[in-house]
Structure 1
Amino acid sequence: MATRLSDVAARAGVSVKTVSNVINDYPHITAQTRAKVEAAIAALDYKPNVSARSLRKGRSDFIALAVPEMGSPYFAELGAEISRAAKRRGITVLIDQTEGEAAAERFVLDGMRGQLIDGIIFSPITTAPARLTAADTGKPLVLLGERPAGGQFDHVAVDSVQASYDATTHLVSIGRRRIAAIGVGGGAGTGAVRRKGYRKALKAAGLPHDPALELAGTGYHRPDGAASMRELLALPEPPDAVFCFNDLLALGALRSLAEAGLRVPEDVAVVGFDDIEDGRYHSPSLTTISPDKEWLAENAVALLLDRIAGNGGSTHRDLTVPYTLQIRESTAG
């Protein structure tokens, strides 16, 4: 038989109301009384009824994080930071992997109907900006990533145009003149946004735009980067540098360069984006754009909890994540 609140009260020698007050972290409970109740809870292995507690408080203290894939080191690292930021505030994070599927992203934008959560942090991939603008989530929501918030939701993202400009300009500064880009895409997503910064840097340096040096690939994983790098090396005039739009693409490109017997950075310099742990320990270590993931997590969670509390007003807030260019062996030798 499950332990009841009255069982805890009897063991601690206090009223049921006092046990409830301790569980709900109400003030004005003496340290001695709190200790007795907590000891009784531990001894009886009492598990509070989350649903009933949520009805009383008007919230569950659960939030959702919806991302395309947890197998991606970037999203795994970011998810860990968001979980830590929420835990410090007494909030539990439930993770939903959308795999970038339209139906899964619609479910998120519909507020994950029926789920016991107070709000959502969401990194969309396939959802069009118009859909984001028209969405009626029914729950507070904070957007991450490149897609514009459409004036409705709070939004936290790196300035990918400027960051990509800085990454490409770094390659120019070390004397590279035939700079390729891997991960280019259309629409309003990551590839299109980072391509703007790449092209802007080429133009500022007086370098020609060569469409043959821009490869979209089929995805953003290591095999995609490796395949794109092989394609670039097959050109009549291969590149002397490559800017990959995430670190997984860069790690794949480094593999193809090694298989081709080319030296990095002497023959081809490589820059990535995201600063995942794998890139720091690769040989050569990877030069990359390093977003401040802890800052991103802290601010995304704070924005969401502010909305859950009914604060923030009607105007959406756009926060820009700080970043640095981490120069390592793939460009510095």
Structure 2
Amino acid sequence: MLKPPQTTTQGISMRELAKLANVNQSTISRSLKGDPRIHPDRVREIRQLAEQYGYRPKPLRSRKTNTIGLLVTSTDANQPDHPFINRVLLLVEQALAQRGMHIHVAFTPRTTQDAITVPGMIQENRIDGVLLAGHPDPTLVADIQPYNLPIVGINDSAKRLGIPTVRLDARQAVKDAIKHLHELGHRRIALATHLLQYTTNHMRHQAYRDTMVDLKIDMDPTLLLGDLPFGLEGGALAIDQLMALDQPPTAILLGNDWMAMGAMQALTKRGLSVPEDVSLIGHDDLWFCADPTMNLSSIHRDESELVAQAIELLIAQIQSKDQSQTPEERFVPAQVIWRQSVAQAKR
């Protein structure tokens, strides 16, 4: 039997209460907040123990460190597993430096299949708030919340995470791209993206479906691909699948510019030309899109604005005494940058 902890005038800690109840700290936090996912009997037991041993949640800290933590979930324990996160990391560092603030960066596993732990920068009160990136499991948010730190999610959904978020929104850009392709005579228009578990990819797929309805074009599910590998390999695989159709597309929107490059290379190997045979549109508008050898049309996303708004939202939380508001969700719109990879549909 676990020996009851010795109480002080301040009561026991959450860690001690968790040991006493034989649960993890996130279950303690959820139970005390009345999370419906926790069985009522368990909630009652934990609340009784909390009252019995004088547990009190940590008060909001008054000392500021002038430091923000960037917590990135990744399949790699030591570095980002996606180029987008590399760009976000650099932009956050630059934006905070301009404000005279500092940054701590930490990585943690993305899924609960691995051992997700709250990093030391949070446990040791070395930061004033957390920017969360990398499509984390929502349970990570619940594990952080007991530390009473403001949190803002970068390029994620407030509904999914239950915290304020800022998200890149390419829906209108996708609609604009498809409508312009339609004006150029394209009717077989495909969309091929990376993992659909990512909120932004799901939004693009929905925008594609909505636009097809608006244009009164019958939806062909074979033209809508998801969960492809990121990068050149994913673009090549998209071409293999789409060009094998009885009626291949004449225009393709790719989930990122690297996929678009892979698609362009795969089309060239098949003896097809861009844009004469197939029009291509990438996503992200990376540096090589404007290169004369590429001239790739692409959907431009303002990642600097994404980071700036996330930091602004986080600082507003840090300065606010009321952390109980409904999580705010902001969207940063995108736009199509047209280049020479798009042309009139071939007749």
State the SS of the aligned residue for 1:158: strand
Comparing 98-107 with 202-211, greater Cα deviation is found at 98-107
Unaligned runs of 5+ in 2: 1-60
Comparing 195-204 with 230-239, greater Cα deviation is found at 230-239
Q: CA deviation at 1:94?
A: 3.1
Please tell me whether the aligned partners of residues 184 and 214 of structure 1 are also in contact (alpha carbons under 8 angstroms): no
TM-score (norm 1): 0.72
Matched residue, 1:278: 288
Alignment of 1:212 with 2:218, yes or no, is no
Q: CA deviation at 1:232?
A: 1.1
Percent identical = 26
Alignment of 1:228 with 2:238, yes or no, is yes
Matched residue, 2:22: none
Matched residue, 2:72: 66
Q: Per the alignment, do residues 215 and 98 of structure 1 end up closer, same or farther by CA in structure 2, a change over 3 Å counting?
A: farther
Aligned length: 277
Alignment of 1:331 with 2:342, yes or no, is yes
State the SS of the aligned residue for 2:260: helix
Amino acid at match of 2:184: I
Aligned residues: CA RMSD: 3.2
Distance 2:129 2:191 in 1: 37
Distance 1:135 1:150 in 2: 15
Which structure features the higher share of helix residues? 1
Distance 2:240 2:257 in 1: 17
Alignment of 1:319 with 2:330, yes or no, is yes
Matches within 5 A, 1:154-303: 154-183=164-193, 186-187=196-197, 189-281=199-291, 283-303=293-313
Comparing 164-173 with 309-318, greater Cα deviation is found at 309-318
Q: Per the alignment, do residues 109 and 218 of structure 1 end up closer, same or farther by CA in structure 2, a change over 3 Å counting?
A: farther
Distance 1:144 1:210 in 2: 33
Q: Per the alignment, do residues 94 and 285 of structure 1 end up closer, same or farther by CA in structure 2, a change over 3 Å counting?
A: farther
Distance 2:207 2:120 in 1: 33
Pick one of 77, 80, 83 that aligns with 2:90.
80
Q: CA deviation at 1:300?
A: 1.0
Measured against aligned partners, the alpha-carbon deviations of 1:70-121 in whole angstroms (never above 9, x if no partner) come to 4644333332222111111112223345574446795469985347332221
Distance 1:125 1:266 in 2: 38
Measured against aligned partners, the alpha-carbon deviations of 1:252-289 in whole angstroms (never above 9, x if no partner) come to 21121122121111111111222222333373222121
Q: CA deviation at 1:223?
A: 0.9
TM-score (norm 2): 0.69
Matched residue, 1:17: none
Distance 1:191 1:297 in 2: 19
State the SS of the aligned residue for 1:117: coil
Q: Per the alignment, do residues 126 and 176 of structure 1 end up closer, same or farther by CA in structure 2, a change over 3 Å counting?
A: farther
Distance 2:180 2:236 in 1: 22
Q: CA deviation at 1:156?
A: 0.5
Amino acid at match of 2:70: A
Distance 2:114 2:99 in 1: 28
Amino acid at match of 1:317: E
Please tell me whether the aligned partners of residues 180 and 213 of structure 1 are also in contact (alpha carbons under 8 angstroms): yes
Measured against aligned partners, the alpha-carbon deviations of 1:276-306 in whole angstroms (never above 9, x if no partner) come to 2233337322212112122112111111122
